[in-house]
């Protein structure tokens, strides 16, 4: 009886490479977007400094909007009209 070596165990690198190869195939399933859908909107996670958050809350209260509503309006405004950073206007 011949002595044989045990088969190599797959490493994490092998598994990652195999997953990347399979996901790159033309018939691979599309990845699902992260987060929670709420109606027609997508919930996200956003990190903001406490100082900026306080200013956002103040401005939102001035116009009777929620924090989320104010941030949403600011994003729409930036996308529709561009943003200005240190005097340089940028069209998105």
Q: What three-state secondary structure class fits 25?
A: coil
Decide yes or no: CATH 1.10.1220 for domain 36-92.
yes
Q: How confident is the model at residue 64 (pLDDT cuts 50, 70, 90)?
A: very high
b vs e for 12-46, b when ≥16 Cβ sit within 10 Å of the residue's Cβ? eeeeeeeeeeeeeeeeeeeeeeeeeeeeeeeeeee
Where do the domains of the chain lie? 36-92
Per-residue pLDDT for 16 more than 90? Answer: no
Region 6-23 average pLDDT: 76
Mean pLDDT of 43-53: 93
């Amino acid at each position: 009886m011949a002595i044989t070596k045990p088969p190599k165990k797959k490493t994490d690198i092998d598994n990652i490479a195999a997953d990347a190869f399979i996901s790159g195939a033309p018939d691979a399933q599309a990845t699902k977007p992260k987060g929670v859908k709420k109606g027609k909107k997508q919930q996200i996670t956003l990190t903001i400094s406490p100082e900026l958050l306080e200013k956002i809350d103040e401005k939102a209260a001035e116009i009777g909007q929620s924090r989320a509503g104010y941030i949403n309006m600011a994003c729409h405004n930036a996308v529709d009209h561009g943003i200005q950073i240190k005097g340089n206007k940028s069209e998105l």
